[in-house]
């Protein structure tokens, strides 16, 4: 079945440094979603990308969807301690409204 | 309620006992999902409901796991004869199905942390 892989598994950065996490799917995705889970919390939706090559920005966060719709990335500029948490990408397992398959996430630590 | 509500928030049980976990989704959300998250791990899909029917039960780890949803709202996940490997946080999420290629964003509850001794 469809698999979603994320790298790196962990990332430690100094506050102010940039951070990027990458997501790769074994199959073409109709869309991809990103979630953030703070330590001790539950996943919270960040964004959904639908179009090939799409780029969306949310303040210091930049999300990209690959041209082939099989990969995606999340880039954070000038990280802050509030960015700490685990970032998950997720894609529909099949076409249509099917359950999301989540990557294992990238855990971000920010050192002040 | 305003968000997805799960209960209990914490459950400690002895190996071999049955447990029930409850999820109350956001009003009007027809889709409901159960995921499991082991310590420091990703989200493992368990089961999905559209209304009261479960078109996809493929993620249930064994026949000790079952779930139902009544009235298109509240769902209960039951684990019979619990084992230590069942210890995890069980997350429920709800969403509004949208037309493809969009998939409704998932709204997660706080989770039920299950510890099997």
Span A50-73, pLDDT tens digits: 999 999 999 999 999 999 999 999
Can you list the residues of chain B whose pLDDT is less than 70? 1, 97-102
Residue given tokens 């159960």 in the structure block: B34
The helix/strand/coil state of A67 is coil
Which residues 55-114 of B are in CB contact (within 8 Å) with A? Answer: 56, 59, 91, 97-98, 100-111
- Cα distance between the two ends of chain B: 33
Contacts of A30 in chain B (CB under 8 A): 100-101, 103
The helix/strand/coil state of A83 is helix
Q: How far apart are CA A90 and CA B43, in angstroms?
A: 10
Chain mean pLDDT for chain A:
94
Cβ–Cβ below 8 Å for A30 and B48: no
Of the ranges A12-16, A34-38, B92-96, which one carries the lowest mean pLDDT score? B92-96
Region A30-57: mean pLDDT is: 96
With contact defined as beta carbons under 8 Å apart, do B112 and B86 qualify? no
């Amino acid at each position: 079945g469809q698999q979603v892989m994320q790298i790196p598994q962990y990332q430690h950065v100094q506050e102010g440094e940039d951070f990027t996490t990458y997501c790769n799917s074994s199959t073409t995705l109709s869309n991809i979603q990103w979630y953030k889970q703070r330590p001790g919390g539950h996943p919270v939706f960040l964004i959904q990308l639908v179009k090939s090559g799409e780029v969306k920005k949310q303040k210091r966060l930049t999300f990209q969807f690959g041209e082939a719709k099989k990969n995606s990335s999340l880039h954070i500029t000038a990280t802050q301690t509030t960015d700490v948490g685990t970032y998950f990408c997720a894609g529909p397992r099949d076409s249509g409204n099917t359950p999301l398959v989540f990557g294992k996430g990238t855990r971000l630590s920010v050192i002040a | 309620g305003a968000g997805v509500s799960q209960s209990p928030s914490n459950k400690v049980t002895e190996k071999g006992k049955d447990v029930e976990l409850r999820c109350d989704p956001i009003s009007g959300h027809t889709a409901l999902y159960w995921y499991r998250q082991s310590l420091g791990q990703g989200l493992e899909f368990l089961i999905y409901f559209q209304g009261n029917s479960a078109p996809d039960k493929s993620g249930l780890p064994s026949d000790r796991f079952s779930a139902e949803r009544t009235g298109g709202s509240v769902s209960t996940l039951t684990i019979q004869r619990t084992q230590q490997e069942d210890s995890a946080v069980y997350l429920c999420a709800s969403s509004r199905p949208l037309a493809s290629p969009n998939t409704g964003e998932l709204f997660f509850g706080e989770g039920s942390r299950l510890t099997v001794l």
